[in-house]
Amino acid sequence: MPFEARSVMSQKEEFVRLALAPGANVSALCRRFGIGRTCGHKLLRQFRAQGTTGLAERSRRPRSSPRRSPPELEAAVLLLRQQCPAWGGRKIAGLLEREGVGHLAPSTVTGILRRNGVELGALGGGAQPFIRFEHEAPNDLWQMDFKGHVPLRHGRLHPLTVLDDHSRFSLVLEACPDQTTETVKTRLITAFRRYGLPWRIATDNGPPWGDGGRNNFTMLGVWLIESGVSVGHSRPCHPQTLGKEERFHRSLKAEALQGPPFESLQQAQHVFDTWRHLYNAKRPHDGLAGAVPLDRYRSSSRDYCETVTPFEYAEGDQLRKIQQKGATSLFGRAFKICNAFAGKLVAFRPTETDGVFDAYFRHQKIQTIDLNLIRR
């Protein structure tokens, strides 16, 4: 998406932060953001010289405020709280320091809010945090889910969210009209073109990414595997598996969905774009020791391929083309594979147990077959 498609400043800042990351490929990022290399390097020079303010055509903000008086700091605290009513002392203090406005202890911020009659704890917080675990590097795992059904003034809104597990970076926050395979696929392609491919995507077991059955693969999952992305599903009735997505949804609800119903999907998307940039680049994250997701996220080195590339299975694999309704056979024994693989070539790989085979579709293990339990 070129810069002019959505918020120009947020896209510029996202570009330079990713381009300045160690090992970043600036040319590839320029291509993904839809800008020329000359423009990209110009933005980098301006950012190195002036920081975020250098990205704006005209900026009225001073480069530094070395001696802000207490009234001005107090006004800044109250303004930020007004803009982000779900934030407490830690987040407000962290962002003010990060932006160079001034250094305040979280307890001081809380005191300012209380002195000015601001009710604390009305929004956000209150729930016990999930036990934190994360993958070692960006793009090792993306978590994906819909944030339920949100009412519009007329109709329904389905927010689609995709989060990087390592950095908590919000890759997708889209106001969708439905939860169909084509809707999700279109949004994922946009993300893949911008950020590259992850190694794996984790989802829950509902449609369109799960069918709730034994094998739990759908057409969307088959497309992801063909694109080079492994697919994983959470344990049934165990939301902690997608804990970062659950926590992201809680923040989204508290900070962006508290107002009256949106008039349209377009209005919702405008709010989402603004909040997503705030979340990624400004909002201190407790799970990142006060850093922001953009501090830790790095774009993937794996480019998205617009067409399905050929795949070669290992020597010794038993290859079968899956028939309609998932039917196939092996050594005279007929059985079924998930319907989503109909028409696809699947490999059956022998295990250490005689008569037991692991079924693979390209790089993904999809099922284990025990021929000893199947009659001829």
pLDDT per residue over 69-103, tens digit each?
467 777 777 777 777 777 777 778 788 777 777 77
Mean pLDDT over 287-301 rounds to: 91
d(CA 77, CA 89): 9
Structural domain includes residue 304: no
Residue at which a domain ends, from 296, 330, 353: 296
Cβ–Cβ < 8 Å for 191, 172: yes
Output b/e per residue, 312-351; b: 16+ Cβ within 10 A: ebeeebeebebeeebebebeebebebbbbbbebebbbeee
Helix (H, G, I), strand (E, B) or coil at 292: coil
* CA atoms within 13 A of residue 211's CA, in its CB half-sphere: 13
CATH number at residue 226: 3.30.420.10
Cβ–Cβ < 8 Å for 279, 170: yes
Pair 28, 79 in one domain: no
Instruction: Check pLDDT > 50 for residue 125.
Output: no
Cβ–Cβ < 8 Å for 92, 105: no
Structural domain includes residue 172: yes
Structural domain includes residue 232: yes
Of all residues in the chain, what percent carry a pLDDT higher than 90? 59
Q: With residue 358 as reference, give the H or E element that holds it.
A: strand 356-361
Q: Which of 96-100, 130-134, 262-266 has the highest mean pLDDT?
A: 262-266
Q: How confident is the model at residue 68 (pLDDT cuts 50, 70, 90)?
A: very low
The residues that bridge with 336 in the sheet, in sequence order, are 327
Of all residues in the chain, what percent carry a pLDDT higher than 70? 87
Residue from 76, 83, 75 nearest 101 by CA? 76
pLDDT, residue 121, reads: 56
Q: How confident is the model at residue 359 (pLDDT cuts 50, 70, 90)?
A: very high
**Is the peptide bond preceding residue 208 cis, with omega within 30 degrees of 0?**
yes
Q: How confident is the model at residue 67 (pLDDT cuts 50, 70, 90)?
A: very low
Q: How confident is the model at residue 58 (pLDDT cuts 50, 70, 90)?
A: low
Q: Dihedrals φ, ψ of 358, to 5°? A: -95, 130
Structural domain includes residue 276: yes
C-beta atoms surrounding 58 within 10 Å: 5
Instruction: Check pLDDT > 80 for residue 159.
Output: yes
- Show Cβ contacts of residue 47 under 8 Å, excluding neighbours closer than 6 positions: 16, 20, 54, 55
Cβ–Cβ < 8 Å for 141, 104: no
Pair 281, 178 in one domain: yes
Pair 51, 169 in one domain: no
Q: Domains in the chain: how many in total?
A: 4
Q: How confident is the model at residue 57 (pLDDT cuts 50, 70, 90)?
A: low
Structural domain includes residue 215: yes
Residue 97 belongs to domain spanning = 70-115
Pair 290, 166 in one domain: yes
Structure tokens at 265: 């999907």
Please tell me the least confidently modeled range out of 57-71, 101-115, 250-264, 305-319.
57-71
What's the one-letter identity of residue 105? A
Cβ–Cβ < 8 Å for 41, 311: no
Helix (H, G, I), strand (E, B) or coil at 223: helix
C-beta atoms surrounding 151 within 10 Å: 11
Pair 32, 147 in one domain: no
Pair 213, 154 in one domain: yes
Pair 362, 324 in one domain: yes
Q: Dihedrals φ, ψ of 357, to 5°? A: -130, 140
The three state secondary structure string of 88-136 is: CHHHHHHHHHHCCCCCCCHHHHHHHHHHCCCCCCCCCCCCCCCCCCCCC
Structural domain includes residue 301: no
Helix (H, G, I), strand (E, B) or coil at 25: coil
Q: How confident is the model at residue 334 (pLDDT cuts 50, 70, 90)?
A: very high
**Alpha helix stretches (DSSP H) within 314-363:** none
Pair 227, 326 in one domain: no
Residue from 302, 316, 339 nearest 140 by CA? 302
**Stronger pLDDT, 277 or 325, i.e. the higher one:** 277
d(CA 35, CA 316): 47
Cβ–Cβ < 8 Å for 1, 194: yes
d(CA 113, CA 118): 5
* 235-243: Cβ within 8 A, 24+ apart: 236/205, 239/204, 240/130, 240/131, 241/202, 242/143, 242/145, 242/202, 242/203, 242/204, 243/130, 243/131
- Predicted structure pTM score: 0.76
Residue from 141, 297, 313, 300 nearest 232 by CA? 141
